[in-house]
Amino acid sequence: MALQSVGVIGAGAWGTALAVIARRAGRDVLVWAREPETVAAINDAHRNDVFLPDIALDPAIEATSRLNEAATCDMLLMVTPAQHVGAIGAELAPICGRPAAGHLLQGHRAGDGRLLSQVAGDLMPAADIAVLSGPSFAADVASGLPAAVTLATGEEDLGRALSHALSHSPFRCYWSGDVIGAEIGGAVKNVYAIAAGIVVGKELGASAHAGLVTRGFAEMARFGVALGGRLRHHDRLSGLGDLVLTCGSPQSRNMSLGVALGQGQSAAEALSGRLTVTEGVTTASAMVEIASARRIELPIAEAVHAVISGLTTVDEAIEALLARPLRPEM
């Protein structure tokens, strides 16, 4: 399977980082961006000063504002915010042939609760859809620091081909057949990162943080299995690994939002002026909607959604969680 050319759809921090990764793996890389100034910066200055200002880009990485040019690549990595995947997928559908993979920024589509792989698959039925997820910050991998992620697709041969096409020292892709589990893990960890940030912002201590992350992991697994994921997948890179990273560093935009909430800011205040999308906000809403319809118990996710939506205060949410009945851990 020839996977030499890579089209990166989106030039945010992760799109830029994936362009760097693909180029280091020896691929020909073309980045699509809507903004002419971003295209010019990548082509002329070999930088993306808005999202990854400290990273010098390989001059061989090219950019375009013409989506049809990127659509001809052997592999497409979709790295647009979750809310825009439907619109971008609709634009791609009539012009792309059979791209080998869609890299989907993990999250649930607000409104109907579908996974992004399902959204993309419905729009581009001829495409082979894969999901890339795991514990990795864009700045880290673009800087060449070691990272390991999950690349999930239903076809083993495709998964192995994609993994080899992007892997290089020190970036490693491990193939998985559990697409649903990988995508859910990559999505819902953002919600628990907001909760972990609130714990840090309220200065509730390391013990409370560890307890929150552990119970969040239990909720993640329960939610994933209910939606068709495999239980064993959640203790791997795109489950536990991603959760530990995102809940453990203010470098995570979701955790930093939680810290601001814990320190007394409103959701509107904490979100104002941010250049990047904080995916956990919309994911929390989708999780609560799905959980209600399927009767899945997600007290932490529900608390995060209530705080973000202004339905309760941080202090009230914490008090309600601590007052829940004691039950067996398993």
pLDDT tens digits along 82-102 = 778 888 888 888 887 554 444
* 3-class state of residue 93 by DSSP: coil
Residue 263: how many other CB atoms lie within 10 Å: 15
Q: With 0-12 CB in 10 A as exposed, 13-18 as middle and 19+ as buried, what is 271?
A: middle
Domain assignment of residue 191, yes or no: yes
Which domain does 285 fall in, by range?
Answer: 180-322
Residue 315 sits in a domain of what CATH number?
1.10.1040.10
Torsion of CA 179, 185, 186, 187, to 10 degrees: 110
Domain closes at, from 136, 160, 177 = 177
User: For residues 297 and 292, what is the distance between their CA atoms, to the nearest angstrom?
Assistant: 8
User: Are residues 156 and 42 both part of a single domain?
Assistant: yes
Look at residue 82 in the predicted model and tell me its pLDDT.
Answer: 75
- pLDDT under 70 in the chain at which residues? 1, 97-113, 231-234, 330
Look at residue 101 in the predicted model and tell me its pLDDT.
Answer: 45
The residues carrying an active-site annotation are: 189
Contact 77, 102 (CB under 8 A): yes
Q: Is the pTM of this model over 0.85?
A: yes
User: Are residues 160 and 209 both part of a single domain?
Assistant: no
User: Are residues 152 and 214 both part of a single domain?
Assistant: no
Look at residue 70 in the predicted model and tell me its pLDDT.
Answer: 93
In sign, the C-alpha dihedral spanning 254, 257, 263, 268 is negative
Look at residue 97 in the predicted model and tell me its pLDDT.
Answer: 59
User: For residues 155 and 158, what is the distance between their CA atoms, to the nearest angstrom?
Assistant: 5
User: Are residues 9 and 82 both part of a single domain?
Assistant: yes
Domain assignment of residue 328, yes or no: no
Please report where in the chains the tokens 């890299």 appear, as a residue. Answer: 103
